[in-house]
Amino acid sequence: MKILIPTSYIRNPYIFQLVKGLQKNRDVENVQTLVPWLYQDDYSFDVIHLQWPESVFLTSNYNEKDISALERRLLFYKNQGARIVITVHNKVPHKGDKKKSYFLYKKVYQYCDGVIHMGESSKDIINKDHADDLESARQIIIPHGNYEYFPNSVSRKQARQYLGIPESNIVVASIGAIRSSDEYRLIKNVSKALRKRNGLLLQIGQIYSTKNRIKHLITIKSLKLQKNLRQFGSYVADSEIQYYLNACDILLVPRVNTLNSGNVALGYTFGRIVLGPDYGVIGEDLKRQGNPVFRSIDEMEVSQTLDHAIDLIHTDVGKNNKNYAIEELNWDRLTLQYLSFYKNLN
């Protein structure tokens, strides 16, 4: 079987782990990820497995002409007998024009033979908007895989010494850019709640509080004045991510109304308590494993949910999260499900 997973997001560990898992199977002859393969007429694939549709364009300024070109390529492969599959990561992209993004996703769904959701709530949410587009597509649920890809050899004590964090602190880590005013408000309220509990918030990723540069600088300065937030820039090397995960007690999923987040599986892999929104697959996964969820980003709700998370630190929830990640979210298991799904599509 020859598989193409065309995406420009090749630095995303999800892609590496998916490709690695597929390549280990003897039924797979070849897996390619580079976008230019999508436009080659002299090489055939059995499966075109899309991830984030916008990632097949090398710029965010794609237009209707670009979408039409993608349509022609999908039709070309369907006429060759290839199966078109998509994994649903987002309802629409986090950035860019929502109307244009919706049009792109709608067009892609119309060509799909198979749709892979990461949870039941994804299936419900996507079909609410795209039932007609997905009428002939077979749909299945395959969860997000774990992150055993990352090194995990340092102890809590070593991680805290490396980062200069006292043993007595309650530590919450937030990994990923803060992309909206609501997400900014969330981490601000988490930081404020932690300050009352001798706690510290580690933020890995840029913080975008508003599009207005002056207001942004003011809000960032205000946030840092709380003195219990440490911001580590936009990027941490894969070899160092373990320090932040092992130093923290709780991993925050800093998202609002977002369908999926790899941070859930990341926190599970490292045996952390994971705190996130009660929305989409994020809320579905967290509640199933007994992790705390916030239903709004209001200060009182965030504070109460954080208290719940702190109460869970010395329970078996973190251990159970890790066992679940190892047993149910391992990539050998998941890629067998992918291959079975590929083979059974018409």
Percentage with pLDDT > 70 across the chain:
97
Supply the pLDDT for residue 35. 95
- Residue 294 vs residues 156, 270, 299: alpha-carbon distances, Å: 26, 21, 11
- The better pLDDT of the pair 210, 83 is held by 83
Spell 289-317 as b/e; 16+ CB within 10 A means b.
Answer: bebbbbeebeeeebbebbeebbebeeeeb
Q: Which two tokens stand for residue 268?
A: 């599970």
User: 3-class SS at 109?
Assistant: helix
Supply the pLDDT for residue 221. 72
**Averaged over 155-165, what is the pLDDT?**
96
Whether the predicted pLDDT of 163 surpasses 70:
yes
Question: What's the predicted TM-score (pTM) here?
Answer: 0.95
**Averaged over 307-319, what is the pLDDT?**
97
Q: Which structural domains are found in the chain, ordered by start?
A: 2-145+330-343 (3.40.50.2000), 156-328 (3.40.50.2000)
Q: Give the other-Cβ count within 10 Å of 268's Cβ.
A: 28
Phi, psi of 267 (to 5 degrees): -60, -40
**Averaged over 208-215, what is the pLDDT?**
71
Whether the predicted pLDDT of 118 surpasses 90:
yes
Supply the pLDDT for residue 336. 96
Scanning the structure block, which residue is given the tokens 């990027």? 235
Band of the pLDDT at 214, cuts 50, 70, 90?
A: confident
Band of the pLDDT at 209, cuts 50, 70, 90?
A: low
Supply the pLDDT for residue 210. 67
Supply the pLDDT for residue 95. 78
Question: DSSP assignment of 264-303, as one string?
Answer: HHHHHHTT-EEEEESSHHHHHHHHHTT--EESS--HHHHH
As a whole number of angstroms, the distance between CA 271 and CA 166 comes to 20
Q: Which two tokens stand for residue 124?
A: 């419900």
Band of the pLDDT at 217, cuts 50, 70, 90?
A: confident
Q: What is the DSSP pairing of strand 273-277 with strand 293-294? A: parallel
Rg (Cα) of the chain, in Å, rounded?
Answer: 21
Round the average pLDDT of the chain to a whole number and report it. Answer: 93
